[in-house]
Structure formats: C-alpha cells, structure tokens
Amino acid sequence: MKAYVNGRWTEGGESFPVRNPYNNQQIGSAPLLSRQDVREAVIGAKEGLAQMNSLSAYERYQILQRAAQGLEEAAERFARLLSLEVGKTIREARGEVSRAIQTLTLSAEEAKRISGEVVPFGSAPGSGDRVGFYFRVPIGVIGAITPFNFPLNLALHKVAPALAAGNSVILKPASATPLTNELLCQLLLQAGLPPKGISLVTGKGEEVGEALVRDEKVRMITFTGSLDVGRRIMQGLGLKKATMELGSNSAVIVEKDAILSEALPRIRDGAFTVAGQVCISVQRVYAHKEIYDDFLDGFIPLVEGIRSADPLDETTDMGPMISPQAAQRAKEWMEEAMGRGGKLLTGGGVKGSFMEPTVLTEVPRDCRVVSQEAFAPLVVVNPYGEFDKAIEEVNSSIYGLQAGIYTQDLDRALKAARRIEVGGVIINDISTFRVDLMPYGGVKGSGLGREGPKYAIEEFTEPKLVSIRFHK
C-alpha cells in the first residue's frame, strides 16, 4: 500500500508487513513513515483546510454522499479486505461495510445542518443597542488515530463528520490494519474531496502517532484505543481539543424476570462478535441467583455451538484474534482467574491467534478478566442476590462505556439507567448495541466526548460570535 501525504501518494522508504491473523500470511505492506513525513502531512493539511473552507456545506454533502455511493458499489471488495486484515468473519465484515455506508450518509446529511443561534444581547444591562448570533466553524487540522477492530467504520466515525464540518484530517490507522484505509482515502478523493483535505500516515505509534499528537498545528486529536495509550496522548496534547474512546469491560445485568429466550442469544453474540474484540463486548454478566442455573444451562450450549474457522468461509461464526500474542494474554488472564477460584465452564483453549469461546464463573472482582478490558472471546458470568449489589458490581469498573440490563420491571430499569456509571444504558438488550446515529462515548476510564455524526460535528466545530452594534 501507499501512504498519502501532502496531496501525494508515497511508498516512503522502509515498510512493515501486514498479516492475515487467520494464517499469518503476509497480505501486504505499509510505509514506515517518520516524524518528518508527519510534518509534511501537517503542512499539506493546513493547505487542505483552506481547500475545505472554500466548499459550501452542500458541496461537502455531495462529496460524502458520492463516497457513500462508491462504498456501496465496492462493498464486497472492502468486506473481503476487512476479513483478511482483521480476521473477522466475512459476514461481520459485510456488516461493518453496511454500517460505514450509513456513517457516510449520516455525516453527509449533517453537513447541511450545522447552524448557530441568536444571542439575546438585549437581555444584558447596557447592551440594548446590540444584536448578535453565533455560527459554528471548523476547528482546523484534525488528527484521527484509529484501532484495528473496525478499521473502516471507526475511521469514518472520525473522518466523515470532521470533513462534513469543513476540517482537514490526518488519519493514522492501527499498524495491524492499514490496508482498508488506503482504499478509504482513494474512495474519498474519487468522490471529489480536495486533494489535501485528507492525509494517510502509517507507521509506529511512538513515532508517527506521537508526532501527530505533539504538532502545534494539529488543533484536535480524536482517538479510539486503550486507556493506557489514551492517557499518554492526553499528557502530550498541549492546547488541543480531544475526544477519547478508550474501551470498557462492559457488563449486562440479567434480572430474575428476564426473558431468557431473548437474552441468551443476544449475550452470546455480544460476547463473541469479532472474537470479543469490540469496545462494548459483553465481558461481564451478572445473573440473578434465582435464574443463574437456568441461564448457564441455556447459555453454554449456545457458546459451544459457535464455529471457529476460516473467516472467509460463509459458515464461520467467529474468526481469530488479531495476533497470537493477544490470544496468549487472554489465556494468562483466564488462568489467573482460575487460580483465584474461578471456574471454567467451556472453552479456554488457545492455538495461534484462535481462542475458543470461553465462559468463566465465580471469578473475584479484582481478577483481570473482570476488572480490566479482556478484548477477547471470554465472558464471566457471576451470580448476585440483591439488585443494588449488581449495580455496585457493574460500577466497580474503572471503565464506563455502556451497560445492558434485562428486566420487565420498569422501576428497576430506570433505577439502573440513573445509577449505572456509563455513557449508555441499554434496557432489554446487550451493552454491545450501537447504531451509528446515536451519541456514543463513555465516562471514567472510557474516555471523553461523543461520537455519532451529529454529536461528533459538535466536537469538531466551535462557536464563533458576531455582535452588531446599531444606532437607535
């Protein structure tokens, strides 16, 4: 692949391999760019900002709408590359492409809706001779740093709203999955995006990513990734704005009145989609003790029915994790839990990048599979007695992205909505529920700001005031 810097495609000097997690075969390579390449990208992005500002809102709408149409036409090509690059199943990859089309379309529509409001100066003493308003303007050059698990749609959740608002963007994808982003940049440029409206930089996070974070001409960083990396980014930001989506160890409460026939397959899907490598994967389940045995009796066969195989096989349910190292880390966390009294109910085997769909129970709160983000096909099911205790367990996490609760009791559902410390409470569904138009983001260690095109545009713009003094 090539990077795209200052309006030009470049192969750079050195490169690094991109491998298929399923069989470890090399499927491509990407340029190993330097800090100087990032500086060159920033110079181009500053010029690109002027190009973007010359476009009307309607012209930005047209570009993004054409990109959505182009993605729809190239959907299978993108899906196949996603499956090869990430290791997700071809069906999961098609789902990501479908969502990415929606993200582009929603961003296109929101480009036409950016507005401001009248400021009532006359309501302040001595300002009766003034009228005024504010409108929203782009922040400037946006640095977008994206993760490996959804390299198309999560990139578009940053890039598309930023472009809709009139910013220029420098995109730094995860080193494990840069190939899809080359296709994405080509798609946007073919749709009519100004040549310097976007840049694509690839390479090491500590080199390319840090240079992007520290460059004073970059006015905002939007990042999705781990809490540890997010903290390091925040320390180096200086006078920049930031949105941070930093993951979670999401929980679902299953009350004794839950409809298990609905909850069980959804929790299975929420725990094992993309091999559990989703920020809002179901990692913790708290099942009421009165239905705990019934829950496990129904859940374990569903988990054991998951077929792990070649992601390009249409019948495969779950692909590999992103690397053998990631799978081995998850196994070590599982073994720690078992050494602390946790019980393995199914799964646990690791071979290469594959980890069997795994269910643990009776795991102490301070074990890593409960307290940290596993990002693996692994779920802990623990029983509880009192509803307040279940909420306490959910809130014991340093994270707070999303949580789910299954109950037919409206009072308890609303109590959960009020008291669970997360950015989104999903009632009678799993924490993994997300549609691309909703405000999405977390509290505590799960980050800052919100995504979803409408809400992201608020992050990517700032109000500019106009005050007019008139003669009475």
Positions annotated as catalytic residues are 245, 279
Instruction: Provide the token pair at 429.
Output: 């569904």
Query: How many Å separate Cα 189 from the centre of its chain?
Result: 24
Q: What pairing do the DSSP bridges indicate for beta strands 218-224 and 350-351?
A: unpaired
Helices first, then strands: H and E counts in the chain: 15, 22
Torsion of CA 349, 352, 357, 362, to 10 degrees: 50
Instruction: Provide the token pair at 33.
Output: 């760019």
Q: Could you give the C-alpha distances from 464 to 121, 220, 266, 413, in angstroms and in order?
A: 15, 17, 45, 41
Q: Could you give the C-alpha distances from 249 to 274, 287, 423, 430, in angstroms and in order?
A: 15, 16, 13, 13
Find, among 255, 200, 272, the residue nearest to 12 by Cα.
200
206 by Cβ neighbours in 10 Å (0-12 / 13-18 / 19+) ranks as: exposed
> In this structure, what are the phi and psi dihedrals at residue 367, rounded to the nearest 5 degrees?
-70, 150
What single-letter DSSP state applies at residue 398?
Answer: S
CA distance 470 to 126: 13
3-state secondary structure of 147: coil
Query: How many Å separate Cα 299 from the centre of its chain?
Result: 27
Contact 397, 307 (CB under 8 A): no
For tokens 């989506």, name the residue.
245
Instruction: Provide the token pair at 141.
Output: 């050059």
Q: What pairing do the DSSP bridges indicate for beta strands 117-119 and 461-469?
A: unpaired
Instruction: Provide the token pair at 155.
Output: 């990139």
CA distance 192 to 186: 10
Instruction: Provide the token pair at 63.
Output: 């570009």
CA atoms within 13 A on the CB side of 329: 12
